[in-house]
Amino acid sequence: MIHTRVIVVKNPEEMGVIAADHFEAMIQTKPACVIGLATGSTPLPLYRELAKREKEGKIDFSRVRSANLDEYKGLAPDHEQSYRKFMQDNLFDHISIKPENTIVPDGLATDVQAMCEAYEAQIEAWGGVDLQLLGIGHDGHIGFNEPDDHFPAMTHEVKLTEMTIDANKRFFDSIDDVPKSAFTMGIGTIMAAKKIVMVVTGADKKEILKKTFWGPVDPQVPASILQFHPNVVLICDEAAYPF
C-alpha cells in the first residue's frame, strides 16, 4: 500500500521543473534551510532549473546549507569523477551557495568512523535536513545504501555492488577505475529528513520503481523503506512509471 505522493511527468525536463518547485517553495519559506543533494544523471535537469531560477531572482541560495548523500572512497575532491566535483560543476558553481555551507563526505578520510560521525554531527548542528533529494539505483539503492540484510542507520562505508560499479563505469576510462567502495549517509540519515523528493526517469528504472513503492518493504530493496516516510514526493516520468 503506497502512502507516497506520486507525480507523473512527461519527460526529464518537466521533472526538473516540478522538482524545482518543491525546492523553490522550501527556500522561499525557509531561506536558511538544509537541503540534501544527490549526484547521477537524473538530477541534472533539476540543477539546471535551480540555477536558472536563481538568475531570474526567484530563489536565493546565499543562506542555504547543503549535505550530499555520498562520495567515492579514495577520490580527492578535485578528482574528475568525485561527487564533490560533480556538485561544483553541475550546481554549486552556478548558484550563490557559500562553499562553507556545502558538505560532501570526504573521500580521502583515513579515520572513517570519525569522518562519518562528524558528518552526522554537522547535519544535526544545522538542525537536520529539511528537504532531501534522492535518485534511485537499478538495484534499489539510495545514496550508496546497497541491498543488504538490514537498513543501515548512519553515515558509513559501503562496498559497491557489481551492478552499481557496472552502471557507473560510463563515467570512468575503464571499469577497473571505478572505486569499489564509497561513503554514504545511512538509511536512518535519509529517513530523518523532514521531506523527501525522489526523482526517477527512464524506462530502465520502471521495474525497480515498482518494487520500491508497490512491493514489500525489504532491505534487499533499500529504497522500499521510503514507504514508511510520511512526506515523500515521487516525481517520475511516463517512461519510468510502472502502470
Question: Is 139 designated active site?
Answer: yes
C-beta of 70: minimal distance to ligand PGA in Å? 9
CA 146 to chain CA centroid, Å, is: 14
Query: Would you give the binding string for ligand PGA spanning residues 76-115, x where CB under 6 A is met?
Result: ----------------------------------------
Only one of the segments 38-46, 84-92, 110-118, 221-229 lies at the binding site for ligand PGA (rule: CB under 6 A); that segment is: 38-46
CA–CA dist 17, 138 (Å, integer): 24
Interface with ligand PGA includes 42 (CB under 6 A)?
A: yes
CA–CA dist 73, 179 (Å, integer): 7
Amino acid occupying residue 194: K
CA–CA dist 198, 63 (Å, integer): 23
CA–CA dist 129, 34 (Å, integer): 5
C-beta of 239: minimal distance to ligand PGA in Å? 13
User: For ligand PGA, which is the closer residue by CB, 64 or 69?
Assistant: 69
Where do we find the cell 518543491?
22
CA–CA dist 82, 73 (Å, integer): 9
Where do we find the cell 566535483?
85
Number of residues that bind ligand PGA (CB under 6 A): 6
Question: Is 120 designated active site?
Answer: no
C-beta of 30: minimal distance to ligand PGA in Å? 26
Contacts of 29 (CB under 8 A, 6+ apart): none
Query: Would you give the binding string for ligand PGA spanning residues 128-167, x where CB under 6 A is met?
Result: -------xxx------------------------------
- Helices 44-55, 12-29: crossing angle, 10 deg rounding: 50
Angle at 64 between CA 59 and CA 65, to 5 degrees: 150
- Pick the catalytic residue from 54, 106, 130, 146: 146
Question: Is 60 designated active site?
Answer: no
Only one of the segments 12-20, 36-44, 178-186, 233-241 lies at the binding site for ligand PGA (rule: CB under 6 A); that segment is: 36-44
User: For ligand PGA, which is the closer residue by CB, 124 or 177?
Assistant: 177
CA–CA dist 56, 128 (Å, integer): 28
- Pick the catalytic residue from 70, 71, 106, 120: 70
Question: Is 146 designated active site?
Answer: yes
Q: Which residues are at the interface with ligand PGA (CB under 6 A)? A: 40-42, 135-137
Q: So which residues are the catalytic ones?
A: 70, 139, 141, 146
